[in-house]
Amino acid sequence: MSEIAIHLENLSHRFGSQVLFQNLSLQIEANKITVILGRSGSGKSTLLQIINGLIVPDEGSVQLFGQPLDYRNIHQARLNIGYAVQQVGLFPHLRVIDNIMLPGKLAGWNSEKKKKRAAELMELVSLPSSHSEKFPYQLSGGEQQRVGLCRAILLNPPLMLLDEPFSSLDPDTKAEIHQEVLKLQRTEPRCIVMVTHDPEEAQKLGDVQLKFENGQLTPTI
C-alpha cells in the first residue's frame, strides 16, 4: 500500500460569507505529483495554505505523513514543506545564491552544506553557476522560477506545494520549467501538490489529477 503524505478529514472553510468547501476529505499519496485543477477563486489556493499551516481551517483536521499538523509549532512542520507561488517571492536585496540558501540558514545548516546543496540544485534545474552572484532583477521570469524551485526544495522536504507558480510565464518558458519539475521528480521523488487553472498543465504534470468544483474534489476523466 502506498504511503499517504496528506490526509484531510472533514475540512470546512469560509471566506466571508462564501463557503469554499465543506466536509472535504482527501488522501494524497507520497512520491506522486497530484494536480488540483480549478477556476480562479474556487478555493484551491486556500486549500494549499491550510496544508502549509498559513490558514487554520474552520473545521476539520490535517495530517502530514501520519502526524497531525501542529499549528502551535508550525515552524517545525514547515521545515518539511517546500512552497512555491506565482509571485516567486525572491528577496530583491539578496543574490541568487543567498535566496536559495535561506531555508538552510533558518534550519541551522553550516555554510559549506548550504553552498554545496544550492550548487547541486542550480545544476539540476539548468541555472548557470555564474547566476549565483546575480540579483533577482537581473534574471528572466523563467530563471526566477527556477531559483524559487531550488529554494523550495533546498532542505529536501518530503512535501512540495506549488500554487500556480508558472501561470505568468510565456508558453515556451512554461514548457521548459515543466520539464525541470519532471526531472526534479525523477531525481528526488517527493509528494508534490500543485494547483492550476490550466487543463493542459494538469495533464502534463499530474500523476493524479483532481478537479476542484463547488467545494469538492473529484478525479478528472
Q: Please check whether residue 85 lies inside any domain of the structure.
A: no
Q: Report yes or no on 83 lying in a domain.
A: no
CATH code of the domain in which 176 resides: 3.40.50.300
Q: Write out residues in the chain with pLDDT < 50, as ranges.
A: none
What domain count does the chain have?
2
Q: Which of 85, 87, 86, 83 is nearest to 102 (CA)?
A: 83
Taking only the tens place, the pLDDT of each residue in 155-173 is: 989 999 998 888 777 888 8
Within its chain, how far is the Cα of 62 from the centroid?
17
pLDDT tens readout for residues 162-202: 988 887 778 888 888 898 889 889 988 999 999 999 999 99
The answer to whether residue 78 is domain-embedded is: no
The pLDDT assigned to 215 comes to 84
Check residue 201 and give its pLDDT.
Answer: 92
With contact defined as beta carbons under 8 Å apart, do 21 and 12 qualify?
A: yes
User: Do 124 and 105 share a domain, yes or no?
Assistant: yes
DSSP 139: S
- 108 and 56, same domain (yes or no): no
Same domain, residue pair 58 and 38: yes
Same domain, 47 and 67: yes
Beta-strand ranges (E) seen in the chain are: 4-15, 18-29, 33-37, 59-64, 67-68, 81-85, 159-163, 191-196, 208-213, 216-219
In-domain check, residue 104 = yes
For residue 157, CA distances in Å to 45, 176, 212, 220 come to 20, 23, 25, 28
> According to the model, what pLDDT value does residue 98 have?
97
Please report whether residue 80 resides in a domain: no
CB 179 within 8 A of CB 172: no
Together in a domain, 61 and 163: yes
Please give the model's pTM, rounded to 2 decimal places: 0.86
What pLDDT score was predicted for residue 1?
53
Residue 67 and residue 162 share a domain = yes
Structural domain includes residue 84: no
* pLDDT at residue number 85: 80
Are both 186 and 202 inside the same structural domain? yes
**Together in a domain, 139 and 168:** no
Determine phi and psi for 23, rounding to 5 degrees.
55, 45
Last residue of a domain, one of 156, 175, 192: 156
- Shared domain check, 179 and 164: yes
Give yes or no: residues 136 and 185 share one domain: no
Grid coordinates belonging to 159? 512535501
Supply the pLDDT for residue 221: 57
The predicted pLDDT at position 87 comes to 66
Query: Which of 156, 178, 213 delimits the end of a domain?
Result: 156
**Domain that includes residue 4, residue range:** 1-72+158-221
Same domain (yes/no): 172, 212: yes
Out of 156, 179, 204, a domain closes at 156
Other Cβ atoms within 10 Å of 9 Cβ, number: 14
What single DSSP character describes residue 135?
A: -
Q: What is the structure's pLDDT at 110?
A: 96
Helix or strand (DSSP H, E) at 141: helix 141-152
